[in-house]
Amino acid sequence: MTGPGTGTGPAPAGWRPALSSAVSLRHDRVRDADLLLLPERVVVLRGSAAKILRLCDGDRDLDAIVAELRSRFPGAPVAEDVPAFLDRMRGEGWVR
């Protein structure tokens, strides 16, 4: 993906990830699932995706998000996985 609407290339220095205003993150009680709701789409989040996205408050930078997750999930490969996941979310335009 390219163009002004979505994020491409390396993340900007000092990036503080935040959910795009077009998406809404919700817990679905009926299906016991975490969802990203978009204008014409519903994305069912798997694994720890929702836990990571909940930390994208526009305040924490990437290091802070990784540190927070590392303390919650000792031993998990957060340092590699989380930045890669957030980069993909930025590519989709769901996180900016």
Partner 1 sequence: MTAAPRPWALLAELTHGCPLHCPYCSNPLELVRRSRELSTAEWTEVMRQAGELGVVHTHLSGGEPLLRGDLAGIVTAAESAGIYTQLVTSGVGLDGARLATLTAAGLRSVQLSLQHADPAASDRIAGHRSYAAKERAAALVRAAGLPLGINVVLHRDNLDALDAIIERGLDWGADRIELANTQFYGWALRNRDALLPTRDQLGRARDTVQRWRDRLGGATDLVWVVPDYFDGVAKPCMGGWGAVSLTVAPDGTVLPCPAAASLPDLDPPNVRDHPLEWIWDHSGAFNRYRGEDWMREPCRTCSRRAEDFGGCRCQAYALTGDAARTDPACALSPDHGVIRALTTDPGHPAGAGTPAPTGGYAYRKPGG
Count interface residues toward partner 1 (CB under 8 A).
20
CA distances 74 to 12, 47, 68, 70, 78, Å, are: 27, 16, 10, 5, 9
> Which of residues 22 and 64 has its CB atom nearest to partner 1 in the complex?
22
Restricted to residues 22-51, the positions that interact with partner 1 (CB under 8 A) are 22, 24, 26, 28-31, 35, 37-40, 42
Distance CA 43, CA 35 (A): 6
The verdict on 9 binding partner 1 (CB under 8 A) reads: no
Q: Which two structure tokens, joined as six digits, stand for 2?
A: 């390219």
Residues near partner 1 (CB under 8 A): 1-6, 21-22, 24, 26, 28-31, 35, 37-40, 42
